[in-house]
Chains A and B, each alone.
Chain A
Amino acid sequence: MTPEDFDRLQTLLASRAGFRLTRDRMHLAEHRLGPVARREGYHNVEAMLSSLWSQPVASLGWSVIEALLNGETWFRRDRAVFDVFSRELMPALTAARPGGKVRLWSAGASTGQEAYSLAIAALENSADVEIVATDLSRLSIEKAHSGLYTSFEIQRGLSARTMLRWFEQADEQWRARPELRSAIRFERANLLDEPTDDGRFDVIFCRNVLSDLEPAHRARVLERLERQLVDDGCLFLGVDERPEGDSIAFRPVAGRKGLYVKAPSALRRAA
């Protein structure tokens, strides 16, 4: 891969996905594109890219984009977040919505570990939840929907007891049990697009997404999250992510890492 190829990949990712492909990911990009080139029938990555540049084909473009997104995730990533959700938010929300469903959104769900972790926490609280999980990558969301994880993936973040309770063995893999899968609706969606009629959510998890976005897109995504969050709802960002520079719609909750609620200014506007 030439430096020019990488420049064009950066432009492709930025324009189509709002994704910031940093220069330190050049080797990683080459490594990830190898299998895409083989799958698409090219001799090597260079041949695939030169074909893409001379004759852009949407499907190939998306395969390349999907391979370069950062899908890193695991079960109960940042354990404290799930403890706050499970022990504090879930009981409060269930009490505040008598007879109603609590609606959760895993935005940037990748391969689904976050959504399943939320479903486990909700079902262990005997809460009635509806979870929507969306991701830009079709491959990731398909894997998430399958609910199938390798031994390697399943034990990253889950205790063996939790694994046995909520997953069943399927050959060499582990599959989420039906009650878990039926709590979640998986959809491919781009956070940069206008929202469809998914309604509003009680809690939104958009963790480790903003930090990979082109700075110019962060404000837009935060604005969208604000619109899709109920006024007394909660937003979880990645524990190292801060919305302050991009949006005044949210304020942090003291002592709860990554947790945000709507700022008074956003509430006034809504009223």
Chain B
Amino acid sequence: MDFQTCLIVDDSRIIRKVARRIVEGLGFEVAEAADGAEALTYCMGVMPHVVLLDWQMPVMDGLSFLRRLRDLPGGRAPKVLFCTVETRADRIAEALSAGADDYVMKPFDGEILHSKLAEVGAVQSPS
């Protein structure tokens, strides 16, 4: 079976490292981007299966990236999970209506990420 790829988009190298360790543990191949513009460039080359997406980032923020991604050919396929410190209900609703599949509030851990990825059908359910 081909590896599933997960693109981690976050301007914090630490967060990318933490998230990478978790999703690699779930069997994903990982790519990283430090902002929305980098992430968009990556997606125009090859669509990842899953995108973990920060909201506040320099150059292009997560929401702008998401809207542009969904307009790309094949851009509706990736499962996009916001992973952000933004926890207000109205912002969460805004992200979902912009096309996010699910939403993770920071801080998160492996169990949360695993259950969220299972919820969108990207991995098997944790037992």
Contacts and interface: CB of A to CB of B under 8 A. Distances in A.
Interface of A: 74, 78-80, 151-152, 155-157, 159-161, 163-164, 168-169, 172, 239
Nearest to A239: B127
Majority secondary structure, A binding face = mixed
A226 B119 CA distance: 33
A159 B88 contact: no
A79 B96 CA distance: 22
Given A79-B118, A155-B104, A156-B111, A161 B96 contact: yes
A80 B89 contact: no
A160 B92 contact: yes
A159 B92 contact: no
B92 A164 contact: yes
A78 B92 contact: no
Contact of A155 (B89, B96, B105, B125): B105
Interface residues of B, number: 24
A157 B115 contact: yes
Nearest to B125: A79
A169 B88 contact: yes
Given A79-B118, A151-B87, A168-B89, A160 B125 contact: no
A160 B102 CA distance: 6
Interface of B: 87-89, 92-93, 95-96, 100, 102-105, 107-109, 111-112, 115-116, 118-120, 125, 127
Nearest to A172: B87
Contacts of B103: 160
Contacts of A164: 89, 92-93, 96
Nearest to B124: A79
A159 B119 CA distance: 7
A168 B87 CA distance: 12
A159 B116 contact: yes
Nearest to A161: B96
A159 B102 contact: yes
A172 B89 CA distance: 11
20 contacts: A74-B111, A78-B125, A78-B127, A79-B125, A80-B125, A151-B87, A152-B107, A155-B104, A156-B111, A157-B115, A159-B102, A160-B96, A160-B100, A161-B102, A163-B92, A164-B93, A164-B96, A169-B88, A169-B89, A172-B87
Given A161-B96, A164-B93, 18 more contacts: A78-B125, A79-B125, A80-B125, A152-B107, A152-B108, A152-B109, A155-B105, A155-B112, A156-B112, A156-B115, A159-B119, A160-B92, A160-B95, A160-B96, A160-B100, A164-B96, A169-B89, A172-B87
Contacts of A159: 102, 116, 119-120
Contacts of A161: 96, 102
Nearest to B92: A160
A104 to B, nearest CB: 22
B102 A74 contact: no
Contacts of B107: 152
A161 B100 CA distance: 10
A169 B92 CA distance: 11
A74 B115 contact: yes
B120 to A, nearest CB: 8
Nearest to A79: B125
B96 to A, nearest CB: 6
A142 to B, nearest CB: 24
Nearest to B109: A152
